[in-house]
């Protein structure tokens, strides 16, 4: 259950945020120390409280887009359908998921942990082996940093790439 709002974790989609929260919205709400607001002075509705909109940048074009608490907008990563479906290099659509996950995780992760998290979306399946292959490509470019011993490598995204739209790293 979410430590911010009490809602259950959304399990049917790609979970790239911390599992203490139902959605990426609630994680940002907590990290930014936001509070709910009461928009109305009307006697009948003034007790209503709302979750404020939170600005994030689109993972394709980098423009500002709004995250909202309501379910369908609470964990989005793109400003529009066009950016969501924007093309990357032919073998790269699958590579979006581990990179997006590592952009948000605070600790380096094992390939098996990354595969499990990336499997939370249903379009692509991931094994530890597939994750290793994908991340090897990106560690050669310096986007991903690998630490630890062979077989127990842990992966993290290099800090300077976390401000880039993820899809821009796949073109
Ligand atoms: Zn929540
Ligand atoms: Zn966009």
Around ion ligand 2, residues with a beta carbon closer than 5 Å are 58, 60-61, 79, 83
Which ranges in the chain are annotated with CATH 1.10.10.10? 87-170
pLDDT tens for 32-82 read: 999 998 877 777 777 788 999 999 999 999 999 999 999 999 999 999 999
CATH number corresponding to 87-170: 1.10.10.10
Which ligand lies nearest to the CA atom of residue 58 in the structure?
A: 2
Residue 153's contacts (CB-CB under 8 Å, 6 or more residues apart) are: 110, 111, 132, 146, 147
Around ion ligand 1, residues with a beta carbon closer than 5 Å are 2, 4-5, 7, 22, 26
pLDDT tens for 116-156 read: 999 888 888 999 999 999 999 999 999 999 999 887 899 99
Q: How far is the CA of 4 from the centre of ligand 1 (A)?
A: 5
Which ligand lies nearest to the CA atom of residue 23 in the structure?
A: 1
Q: How far is the CA of 112 from the centre of ligand 2 (A)?
A: 30
Pairing of strands 64-67, 109-110: unpaired
Beta strands of 24-163 (E only): which ranges?
Answer: 54-57, 64-67, 109-110, 144-147, 154-157
pLDDT tens for 68-106 read: 999 999 999 999 999 999 998 876 789 999 999 999 999
The pLDDT assigned to 84 comes to: 94
The pLDDT assigned to 110 comes to: 97
Burial 44-73 (b: 16+ CB within 10 A, else e): eeeeeeebeebebebbbbeeebebbbeeee
DSSP 3-state assignment of 102? helix
Distance of alpha carbon 105 from the chain centroid: 9
Residue 150's contacts (CB-CB under 8 Å, 6 or more residues apart) are: none
Label residue 5 by pLDDT band (50, 70, 90). very high
Q: How far is the CA of 46 from the centre of ligand 2 (A)?
A: 35
Q: How far is the CA of 162 from the centre of ligand 1 (A)?
A: 24
Predicted TM-score (pTM) of the model is: 0.92
Q: How far is the CA of 113 from the centre of ligand 1 (A)?
A: 23
Beta-bridge partner residues of 29? none
């Amino acid at each position: 259950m979410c430590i911010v709002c009490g809602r259950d974790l959304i399990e049917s989609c790609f979970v790239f945020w911390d599992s203490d929260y139902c959605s990426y919205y609630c994680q940002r709400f907590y990290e930014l120390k936001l509070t709910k607001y009461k928009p109305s002075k009307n006697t009948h509705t003034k007790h209503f409280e709302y979750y404020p909109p939170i600005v994030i940048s689109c993972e394709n074009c980098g423009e500002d887009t709004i995250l909202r608490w309501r379910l369908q907008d609470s964990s989005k990563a793109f400003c529009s359908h066009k950016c969501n479906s924007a093309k990357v290099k032919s073998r790269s659509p699958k590579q979006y998921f581990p990179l997006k996950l590592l952009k948000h995780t605070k600790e380096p992760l094992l390939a098996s942990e990354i595969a499990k998290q990336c499997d939370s979306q249903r379009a692509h399946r991931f094994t530890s082996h597939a994750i290793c292959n994908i991340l090897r490509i990106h560690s050669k470019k310096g986007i991903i940093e690998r630490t630890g011993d062979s077989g127990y490598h842990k992966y993290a995204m290099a800090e300077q790439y976390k401000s880039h739209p993820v899809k821009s790293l796949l073109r």
